[in-house]
Amino acid sequence: MENHDEDNNLKRELGLLDGTMLVVGSMIGSGIFIVSADIARQVGSAGWLTLIWIISGLITVIAAVSYGELSAMFPKAGGQYVYLKEAYNKLIAFLYGWSFFAVIQTGTIAAVGVAFSKFAAYLYEPLSDENILLDLGSFKLNAAQIVSIITIILLTYINSRGVKNSKMLQTVMTIIKIMSLLGLIVFGFILGAKAEIWDANWADAWSTKSFDTNSGSWLPISGSALITGISAAMVGSLFSSDAWNGVTFIAGEIKNPKRNVGLSLFLGTFIVTVIYILANLMYLAVVPFEEIATAKSDRVAVVAANYIFGNIGTLIIAIMIMISTFACNNGLIMAGARVYYTMAKDGLFFKKAAVLNSASVPAWALWAQCIWASALCLTGKYGALLDFVMIIVIIFYILTIYGIFILRRKMPDAERPYKAFGYPFLPLLYILSASALCVALLITRFETCGWGVLIMLAGIPVYYLTKPKEGK
């Protein structure tokens, strides 16, 4: 096993609370406020809507507690990249890093940035994506894109000044975000819940149907159409639950990482899963199912807030989501740069990404990430990117968790302060269920997922063209 002394230059300033808040803050973005509408349209009933969120939560928690073993074995910066390199080889690790920089992290940062600006437009209309500032025919620059880029630049600057500033921002904003979301849930149940709405939503809880947006009617589904619907629905819920592994990327800056990284993973994913399930039960108690499925711009939380608080609800929810997305992007920006830092140390990324600034953070990597994420904001194609991002994310999660089995054979005597919970059954359950989802997505949504796989595979020639001459 390699000794990574380079992490000695990174300052260990993050405790268990900071780690847990990073997990929670990176996971809760805009998804919980939006994607339930699409899930409702895909599966057509309260029971299936709730079940999709429960299954996604269980899959996420299983993956997180499995990662605990890897994070304790390799308590250094780089997280998933390091685990893949140790279990497989530098090519697999590079393909992950390549996909991470090209699409996964930067595409997500761009999307969350634009989600922030969309809700900022509730407060100040000129900030909307309908306000076109520059029209060059095929390329249109709107105010929302400018706002999203400004937020990405601001957060990158804060992170470049040292991990202490960004950790404080992350922890404070995440606590505000959790309290706000819990407040919405509690007030929803107390003020907005109506027995007749709840009973009506659960009257036909397990019938499966999909909503045809063209005709505005429901169509019963079964067999392959049901598998398609469930697969499509799970992309939204799993995307909302993603980015939990961000804490593993900054393990080099976590105090007592062998204990705290694994514990942060479990606590963070468990907290978010409970909040997500409660939020959806609140939606079902407050909003008629039909309105969940047909919410304007999929903003279910806005519809719920209007039912709970009246017109002021829209304003409240807009501010909540702005705080939520801002904290989410802070966590994504902080974590992402550490992957490029570790790759550069291995000679698999630009050398400058391995340089720490006077504040002991990889500033060049932060700004490179900032530039590409800003460019993705300008393309306007980030929504399509996110659709096929998930298949790449899931493929690498499968490979990483299978890596636990490989490393048990490869390094039987290695120190394992924490062992994967439920091994081998729970990690195997994750691999099988996630693989089934990947196959279903490739069959049913090849036009988007196929592009995702293609981007990942495009990294193979790049690796061989750019890898250092020396052997390993």
Q: Cα(207)–Cα(18) distance, rounded to whole angstroms?
A: 43
Each domain of the chain, given as residue ranges in start order, spans 5-466
What is the amino acid identity at position 56?
A: S
SS3 12: coil
Secondary structure of 308-368 in HEC code, one letter for each residue = HHCCHHHHHHHHHHHHHHHHHHHHHHHHHHHHHHHHHHCCCCCHHHHCCCCCCCCHHHHHH
Q: Could you name the CATH architecture of 5-466? A: Up-down Bundle (1.20)
Q: Which helix (H) or strand (E) holds 301?
A: helix 300-309
Extract the tokens encoding 329.
């992007």
Q: Cα(386)–Cα(318) distance, rounded to whole angstroms?
A: 22
Extract the tokens encoding 447.
């036009």
Cβ–Cβ under 8 Å, residues 22 and 14: yes
Q: Which helix (H) or strand (E) holds 274?
A: helix 257-286
Q: Whose CA is closest to 402, among 1, 2, 26, 92? A: 92
| Residue 80, pLDDT score | 87
Cβ–Cβ under 8 Å, residues 188 and 285: yes
| Core vs surface per residue 436-460: b (16+ CB within 10 A) or e | ebbebbeebbeebbebbbebbeebe
* φ/ψ bin of 216: left (φ > 0), alpha (ψ from -120 to 50), beta (otherwise): left
Q: What is the DSSP secondary-structure string of 138-196?
A: S-EEEHHHHHHHHHHHHHHHHHHT-HHHHHHHHHHHHHHHHHHHHHHHHHIIIII--HH
Q: Which helix (H) or strand (E) holds 219?
A: strand 217-220
Can you give the pLDDT of all 472 residues of the chain as single tens digits?
444 444 446 677 788 988 888 888 888 887 888 889 989 999 989 999 999 999 999 999 999 988 888 988 888 767 888 899 999 999 999 999 999 898 888 888 988 888 888 778 878 888 877 788 888 877 888 888 899 999 999 999 999 998 877 778 878 888 888 888 888 899 999 999 999 999 999 998 998 898 887 788 888 888 888 888 888 888 888 888 887 887 777 777 888 888 888 899 999 999 999 999 999 999 999 999 999 999 887 889 889 999 999 888 778 888 888 888 888 898 889 888 888 888 888 888 888 999 999 988 899 999 999 999 999 888 765 556 666 778 899 999 999 999 999 999 999 998 888 888 889 999 999 999 999 988 888 887 788 788 888 889 999 998 988 776 654 4
Q: Where are the alpha helices (DSSP H) in 12-142?
A: 16-27, 31-34, 36-43, 46-73, 80-87, 90-99, 105-123
SS3 250: strand
| Residue 373, pLDDT score | 92
CA distances from 468 to 35, 93, 247, 352, 472 (A): 43, 15, 29, 15, 9
Q: Cα(116)–Cα(123) distance, rounded to whole angstroms?
A: 11
Cβ–Cβ under 8 Å, residues 249 and 335: yes
Cβ–Cβ under 8 Å, residues 289 and 45: yes
From the number of C-beta atoms within 10 Å of its C-beta (0-12, 13-18, 19+), residue 162 rates as: middle
| Residue 470, pLDDT score | 56
CA 105 to chain centre: 9
Tens digit of pLDDT for each residue in 70-91?
988 888 767 888 899 999 999 9
CA distances from 13 to 76, 175, 176, 247, 253 (A): 14, 19, 22, 13, 6
From the number of C-beta atoms within 10 Å of its C-beta (0-12, 13-18, 19+), residue 292 rates as: buried
Contacts (Cβ under 8 Å, ≥6 apart) of 396: 80, 84, 96, 99
Q: How many residues does the chain have?
A: 472
| Residue 380, pLDDT score | 61
Q: Cα(95)–Cα(384) distance, rounded to whole angstroms?
A: 21
The CA-based diameter of the chain, rounded to the nearest angstrom, is: 70
